[in-house]
Structure formats: C-alpha cells, structure tokens
Amino acid sequence: MTDAPVALITGGARRIGAAIAEHLHRKGWRIVIHYRHSDRDARALSERLNQQRADSAITVAADLAQMHEIQRLAQQAQTHWSRLDALINNASSFYPTPLKSASEQQWDDLFASNLKAPFFLSQQLTAALAQHNGAIINIADIHAQRPLKHHSIYCMAKAGNVMLTQTLARELAPEVRVNGIAPGAIAWPEDAAELDAAAQQSILEKIALERTGEPLDIARSVAFLLTDAPYITGQILAVDGGRTLQQ
C-alpha cells in the first residue's frame, strides 16, 4: 500500500497513543510511533504492526523538550514514506504541581510536551500535511477549562493547547484541518499522579455514564476526525462520558 496515508503519533508507544496507532493501522494507515523512554513498548508495537502488514510502522525516539529533536522527529516522519497525512499530538506529561512547591523544571517539562512540541511540530509539518489536505489533532483535556486542584501548570499548558488548536485551524485553513480531543477519565494516571481508590470513586460519581472510558474511545474519535469529518475544524471534542455536565 504505497499510497496509504501516514500518521505521526507522539507518545505513541503506550496507553492512549498505542490505541490510536493500532486503530488507525487497522484502517490502513502507516504509523510513525514517537516515544521518549518507552523503547521496549515502541519496538514491540512496531513489530506487531509490521507483522500484520509489512513496512507499515516505524519508531522514532525524541525528547520533545529539545528543539533540535523536535526538528529531527518532524524530518524523519515526513521523509520515511515521502508523505504525511496526520499529526496527532498525544504525548503529555501529567503530575501535580502545588503552588508552594512547583518548580521551573516542572513548568518547562509540562509546557514542553503539552504545548511547545505540538506548536513546533505543527510548524515543521504544515507543508507536508497541506500536500494531502491532512489534519492535526491535539489531545487536550477537559481540565483545560475546568481546573484541577494542585495541577495549575498542567491546566495552563492544556488551556494553551486548546487555543493552539483554534488559532492553527484559522491559520492553516483550508489546506489543513486542526481539531482537538479532550478526554475525561479514560486511563487512570500513573506514577506520581496515581490516584487512590477513594479519589477514583469520587471521579466516577461525577461522570454521567458512571464509568471510565477506554483508550479505544479516543482512538475512534481520532479516526472520525481524520476520515469522516471533512467539514470540522477548530473544534474540541470532549470524550468524557458526560463528566463536563457536572455542575
């Protein structure tokens, strides 16, 4: 399938990113899997996809806080198959930053993955995307509009991500569509951001559908915006089970 569309997915090795990669691959896309630390997961996913369809997935490591690595990622993504049809800015750092203890390093880290990299990857890849009337999808967050306690830096970065989506939608039209997806409770946070059972239950009580979603819910939404929504741009689709209905 030498004419199959190509998608770059940042943070594509695990969790929501991997679900997006697998879902688009099933629909005939070729996948560029970006990762930072998840080398084993990225390579395993790439091997699995290539076993299903030869020469349909590659991996590229890059630190999205470093401009030269952002540029290298963009270059490899658009030249490997000599085309790019979708940029999915999924990579995201997430952890609490209480005001009393928040650091400049945390600011730089959270803004790098959630705002800096999506902006500069979009800049680097606009020309390639425009050749095939491609699309950019930014994975935002419902907390871009509804602040999460002790997560001020993350929420600010995601609010910027939403505005990035809207401004790029105006600037890149009509050649490139730009939309965002704001997940709710899809996959529970890990490591420093991990929630205990009581905190998880508190969140579930605020969701109209009374359950968490799953990464495939986001993957299906990505596929919809890429292939079945040619007249949608500049929008943020909340995939949250109705959590934002909570007053």
Alpha carbons 231 and 247: distance in angstroms, whole number: 31
- 163 and 186 Cβ atoms separated by less than 8 Å: no
95 is catalytic: no
Q: Which of 35, 95, 154, 231 is catalytic?
A: 154
The residue among 214, 27, 16, 52 whose CA lies nearest residue 6 is 27
Alpha carbons 39 and 54: distance in angstroms, whole number: 20
The residue among 2, 76, 1, 6 whose CA lies nearest residue 35 is 76
Catalytic residues: 154
